[in-house]
Structure 1
Amino acid sequence: MIAVKQTGHSDPFTFDVVIRESGSETHHRVTMSRADYDRLTNGACLPDHCVEAAFRFLLDREPKEAILSSFDITVIARYFPEFEAKLPQYIVAVPTGGGS
């Protein structure tokens, strides 16, 4: 299970992420600029859903323990160049109005 909580709403956005699986959990702090959010999602989802999608992408490629504890979302593309092209496949369409 991936739990994402947006903790900062100014630019950059900040998120606390907890991944629970196999009886253990990891904790992560992620930042994402408004410009990166707009570029990555084109308004297709809320910021916390974008971060959740990014973690689902990561978990398909590495164990939760290998994910950095603190990073900016743009760092993912340094390790996985296909990240930005593949991210839309991981985004669950959720309206951007209201919510988080």
Structure 2
Amino acid sequence: MIKVERVSDGDPLGFDVVVRVGSGETRHHVTLARDTCKRLTMGTHTPEHCVTAAFQFLLDREPKESILSHFDVTVISRYFPEFERELPRYLSRS
């Protein structure tokens, strides 16, 4: 389960994310610029949905404990170059 809560309405937007898998959970703080969200989702999804999809993408590649505790969504592409290309599939899933 991925729970995304917006905690800052500035630019970038700020989110607290809780990931529960099995009996454990991890907590993360994520930022996402409004322009980046618009570009990544082609303006068709909320920022919360974008962050949720990004975490689904990450969880398909690494355990929740390996996800950084504080990061900007744009950092994902540094670790996984396919992120922006594959994100639309994750956005359409949920």
The answer to whether TM tops 0.5 is: yes
Aligned counterparts of 1:93 and 1:80: Cα–Cα separation in 2? 19
SS in 2 for 1:91: helix
Q: How high is the TM-score relative to the length of structure 2?
A: 0.96
2:52 matched residue in structure 1: 52
Q: How does 1:16-27 map to 2 (within 5 A)?
A: 16-27=16-27
Q: Which runs of 4+ in 1 moved over 3 A?
A: none
Q: CA contact under 8 A between 1:45 and 1:92: conserved in structure 2?
A: no
Structure 1 spans left out of the alignment, 5+ residues: 95-100
Measured against aligned partners, the alpha-carbon deviations of 1:15-48 in whole angstroms (never above 9, x if no partner) come to 0000001101000000011111111011121100
Structure 2 spans left out of the alignment, 5+ residues: none
Q: Which amino acid aligns with 2:38?
A: D
More helix by share: 2
Aligned counterparts of 1:84 and 1:2: Cα–Cα separation in 2? 20
Q: Percent identity?
A: 57
Q: How high is the TM-score relative to the length of structure 1?
A: 0.90
Task: Tell me the C-alpha RMSD between the 2 structures.
Answer: 1.3
Q: By how many angstroms is 1:93 displaced?
A: 7.5
Counterpart check, 1:76 vs 2:76:
yes
Counterpart check, 1:38 vs 2:29:
no
